[in-house]
Structure 1
């Protein structure tokens, strides 16, 4: 096997949301580079499918896990410690999107989005810190979203949760830098995955259809290749998307007033 990124060879890397989409693509990219993976998601059968498709399949650990379950996270970390002994990277990729106007979204749906996209992520990260720091520091990766930088129609609570995750990551980076912890945040634009099909509508039901922008977007494999390249270069602020998403991310930093005008005129769903 030819290894492209020797920086991850033999590293133990935990990926949540690994049963499909971006998580599965990251698993393929990292496994091809010699990483030893821990794959988590709720569906055991899909995790088995992903694992059997990877190089050195027997070396990868699968942990069926609902990341909103505090006790299940505690048990998963204990199992990692027992079976592997350590952890080099944690990639917080699990999440859920939204397709609903603010006036159509219930408070219960808002809370569910924050529970999955923010609270569960920071809880898992905090519980994993002792393993990550045990050998002098590791890497935590948060998969946020360009929506968390700009905020758009139909994604208010999703955007807010992803923005909160980004700022929590900034604080984590500052607080634990001296202990050797590296913290990276990735901001994907549109990627061709099932994310829109699984997105929540205002009443909490699943949308069940693919967005046009999602269908025409870069593949998950293209995204994963770009993401891993940036991570092994120790980039901490990583925007990956088409021209419009990258422009929006840039304008959000340079001219918020211009960004607000751009968003009002944008055609999103």
Structure 2
């Protein structure tokens, strides 16, 4: 951890979706390593709870934010510039999942998933680029999903949005490499969080229950530790999950036909 702490110490790192789950775990790991955090989510009271649990809690900035509100995004970036002066990392973690078959999903639900999981994150990242590039470069991190690599049942539009985010990240990495920007994409498998409880069903309502696969997954804390270690090492393509998810990600690159057979037989609920 000494190497991690030296690489993270005093970095200004903005985490969206920081009020629970993966975002909260990343905040705890980064704060312990000496980072100065900007924490965003819609629920201010939960952000306050998270900040109170962090090392050096008084140095972390809370910016309540709905990432789909373009005007609020601009205000948040202005606040970072005014109150801190710069930004080293942006971790795009906010998002929403899906638990509905394609034939049961309404077009409005498709659009909401893309708005949150793709369009809002692309916009926020684009608006934050001047701050990230101001000192010769920064790091953008996207939390995608193994579902965005393989596509699975009950996650048709979610998988598509996460795949789109991954490919946009690839283009961003290529275009701004010469300006010093590094871009990393993390592909979580199942992580034990409330993501399935909050996932959208076909009509756009929340599922409200925990999937078996989610309940038996790795903890958010274990995920965060692996993620930060990989980011500090400069990894750009980071798959974190159980054996099944890691195998699926590998097979997706080597043999799509085999992957399709594996996905048909997999249990994802």
Aligned equivalents of 2:220, 2:71: Cα separation in 1: 31
Q: 1-side partners of 2:63 and 2:4: how far apart?
A: 27
Deviations 1:194-233 (A, max 9, x none): 0000000000000000000100000000000000000000
- Distance in 1 (CA, whole Å) between partners of 2:260 and 2:68 is 33
Indicate if the aligned counterparts of 2:132 and 2:138 stay in contact, CA closer than 8 A: yes
Asked if structure 2 preserves the Cα contact closer than 8 Å seen for 1:5 and 1:232, the reply is no
Question: How many angstroms does 1:267 deviate by?
Answer: 1.9
Equivalent in the alignment of 1:48: 48
Over the residues paired in the alignment, what is the CA RMSD in angstroms? 0.8
Partner Cα distance (2:15, 2:150) in 1: 26
2:105/2:201 contact within 8 Å kept = yes
Structure 2: state its 5+ residue gaps: none
**Counterpart position of 1:199:** 199
TM-score (norm 2): 0.99
The question of 1:221 aligning with 2:221 is answered yes
Deviation at residue 4 of structure 1 after TM alignment: 4.8
Counterpart of 1:68? 68
Q: Secondary structure at the match of 1:110?
A: helix
Q: How far does the alpha carbon of each residue in 1:65-86 deviate from its partner, in whole angstroms, 9 at most, with x for none?
A: 0000000000000000000000
Deviation readout 1:2-33 (Å, 9 max, x if unpaired): 88521010000000000000000000000000
Secondary structure of 1:137 counterpart: coil
For residue 137 of structure 1, report the CA deviation from its aligned partner.
0.3
CA distance in 1, matches of 2:93, 2:4: 22
Contact 1:3–1:34 (CA under 8 A) maintained in structure 2: no
- 1:58 and 2:58 matched: yes
* Distance in 2 of aligned mates of 1:4 and 1:164: 30
Conserved 8 A contact 1:3-1:33: no
Tell me how far apart the structure 2 counterparts of residues 78 and 54 of structure 1 sit (CA, whole Å): 24
User: 2:204, 2:177 → 1: CA distance?
Assistant: 38
Q: List gaps (5 residues or longer) in structure 1.
A: none
TM-score, normalised to structure 1's length?
Answer: 0.99
Alignment of 1:156-167 (within 5 A): 156-167=156-167
Corresponding residue for residue 11 of structure 1:
11
Specify the alignment match of 1:124 in structure 2: 124
- Confirm whether residue 259 of structure 1 aligns to residue 259 of structure 2: yes
Q: Who is 2:232 aligned against? A: 232
- List structure 1 runs of 4+ shifted beyond 4 angstroms: none
Distance 1:48 1:69 in 2: 21
Matches within 5 A, 1:5-154: 5-154=5-154
Per-residue deviation, 1:265? 1.2
Map of 1:182 onto structure 2: 182
The CA distance in 2 between the partners of 1:139 and 1:203, in whole Å, is 36
Residues in 1 aligned to 2:98 and 2:39: alpha-carbon distance in whole angstroms: 25
Mapped pair 1:211 → 2:193: no
Pair 203,170 (structure 1): closer, same or farther in 2 beyond 3 Å: same
The answer to whether the 8 Å contact 1:227/1:240 transfers is yes
